[in-house]
Amino acid sequence: MPNNQMWFTSLKIYPMKIKQLRARLLVFLAHEVGLPYFKLIRKQISFPYTDADLENMPESTVGHQLHRFFKQHSLGLLPYYERHDIKHVLLGYPPTEEGEVCLQTFMLANGRITFPVMVAVAYGWLTMPEFHTSFKAAWNKGRNNIPLKDVNWVSLIPHELQEIQQLLITEKQNHFSLNNEANSQ
């Protein structure tokens, strides 16, 4: 193979290796840095559901959709990550590199300013330029959404997913106008 063809072939392989390394680093940050941080800083929540409980809930509930999310992505319940996974289901971001950073970008723009969120967002913006359009859309969506900082995520499990999305995943002005209409009647 002539030298110039070998050089061209290595250019195609190089981005793939970087993406694999980048994915491994993101998993490392989540599980080897994030989890110890959560154990140190957060009080572990009482998550009263098993995977079987979630599976047996009506199909339209947040809980059943969380079970489906786990099954579809070959995941399971992880202590300290329950609320995070519920956010994936409600916001519709998959557990991929792009989806993880979009979720964290949404939450940062919505006012959740924590060390793990800032690290994930900075890491994504610095190492994943091909997803900048998605990150910007997630930022705008989070910025314009009603604040979610006081949501009790676990309490949403038995409720209808579509109802919860209509209540929580809504732009500030829409929420304000809905509240005004309800108050004026």
What does the domain layout of the chain look like in residue ranges? Answer: 3-41+48-184
Residue 44 is classified by DSSP as P
pLDDT of residue 16: 66
pLDDT tens digits along 61-94: 999 999 999 999 999 998 888 999 999 999 999 9
Q: Give the Cα separation of 146 and 179 in Å (integer).
A: 12
| Average pLDDT along the chain | 85
Summarised one tens digit per residue, pLDDT across range 85-133 is 999 999 999 999 999 999 999 999 999 998 889 999 999 999 999 999 9
* Predicted pLDDT of residue 48: 95
Name the residue with tokens 């002005």.
Answer: 173
For 37, residues 6+ apart whose C-beta sits below 8 A from its C-beta are 115, 116
